[in-house]
Amino acid sequence: MSTDTSTESGLNLQPFESPCCVPAEGKDILQAEEAELLASHFKALSDPNRLRILSIVSANKDSETCVCDLPEPLGLKQPTVSHHLKILVEAGLLHREKRGVWAYFSVVPGALESLSAALVAKK
């Protein structure tokens, strides 16, 4: 019986013995439920127009922006802007407050920081 582990391609394959490193464990590992929630947030941010909306709203000196102020800088029609705003609100990234006929949007406190923190390795 031959113990030669070389293949036709010339690679020398050794029998599997043990992993090269110890897999990470514990509370610092992202759990399935957390991953689902983060994925929904990042999915909401995966559109360039939604990123721009967040940028406009968060850069406003009043910390909020009227829906009427978004179509022009985005170069989008009102229904499209409303669609993007709805996605951001449903993802928990923007807060909507209705005042008369207008809706004002603000960034949910801590929402962006929590996304950033989720990407940083915990030590």
Q: Which domains does the chain have, with CATH numbers?
A: 32-118 (1.10.10.10)
Q: How confident is the model at residue 111 (pLDDT cuts 50, 70, 90)?
A: confident
Measured CA to CA, the distance from residue 45 to residue 109 in angstroms comes to 16
Alpha helices in the chain (DSSP H): 32-44, 48-59, 71-74, 78-90, 111-119
Mean pLDDT within 20-46: 80
With a cut of 60, say whether residue 3 has pLDDT above it.
Answer: no
Mean pLDDT value across the chain: 84
* Percent of the chain predicted with pLDDT > 90: 52
pLDDT given for residue 71 in this prediction: 97
Higher pLDDT, 90 or 123: 90
Higher pLDDT, 13 or 103: 103
Mean pLDDT within 18-34: 70
Measured CA to CA, the distance from residue 112 to residue 118 in angstroms comes to 10
* Percent of the chain predicted with pLDDT > 70: 76
Q: How confident is the model at residue 12 (pLDDT cuts 50, 70, 90)?
A: low
Residue whose pair of structure tokens reads 């759990």 in the numeric block: 31
pLDDT given for residue 9 in this prediction: 61
